[in-house]
A and B are shown apart, each in its own frame.
Chain A
């Protein structure tokens, strides 16, 4: 199974400041079709998760452009350019390249 490791597990940030979350996979996420199926999800308190970013860097419908994804192979990053109050929650990376699908442990973003 592919193990997804996120750092940090907790990220206190000041409103308006940037935040960054790292996700590392135990093996390459490049699929035989050439795509890399790495997604980022956001789970606000008391809410189901929602898709933010797919295939490393593509923002899903309705996701603000302050969210961006980057990376390749086994190392990936989610960045929030300027954190807003509504960004509080837990962020997960997920790989969809291979079964079983696996998630990172989650990174809690909170306001200082």
Chain B
């Protein structure tokens, strides 16, 4: 059974940083791309970043380019999202998903609130 467990969310002031983690199980982590998607309160879904099959195979939404960095640790089956220079409009539930061109499985999400 595929499981994705996100953590690391919380309350942070504008300009601050957070690192989200997503521990994956139930599939061969190194064989699949992984994607972060976020959902602001009461809003729709927004693609954030995708980690492909290699360290150089990363993609970002314009809204987070230069501030967020996606990475993975294959020894821990864990996907990360380092978020710097956070803004109020980054407030959202952040989902970790398995997939590249289709998002097969989703975690429960971790809530990031950026507020002073």
Contact = CB atoms under 8 A, between A and B. Distances in A.
Are these two chains actual partners, yes or no?
Answer: yes
Interface of A: 31, 35, 37, 39, 41, 43, 48-51, 54-55, 60, 90, 92, 94, 96-97, 99-106
Nearest to A58: B102
Interface range on chain B (Cβ under 8 Å from partner): 20 to 34
13 contacts: A31-B101, A37-B101, A37-B102, A39-B103, A43-B45, A48-B95, A48-B106, A50-B106, A51-B103, A55-B102, A60-B104, A94-B45, A101-B47
- Contact residues of A: prevailing secondary structure: loop
B71 interface: no
B12 to A, nearest CB: 22
A60 to B, nearest CB: 7
Given A48-B95, A55-B102, A101-B35, A106 B44 contact: yes
A87 B109 CA distance: 21
Contact of B45 (A35, A92, A99, A100): A92
Given A90-B44, A99-B59, 19 more contacts: A37-B101, A37-B102, A39-B102, A43-B45, A48-B95, A48-B108, A48-B109, A94-B102, A96-B100, A96-B101, A96-B102, A99-B50, A100-B47, A100-B59, A101-B35, A103-B44, A104-B44, A106-B44, A106-B45
A48 B44 CA distance: 12
A96 B108 CA distance: 21
B102 A102 contact: no
B96 to A, nearest CB: 10
Interface string B86-116: 0000000001000111111111110000000
Nearest to A95: B101
Contacts of B37: 49
A86 to B, nearest CB: 18
Contacts of A100: 47, 59, 61-62
B73 interface: no
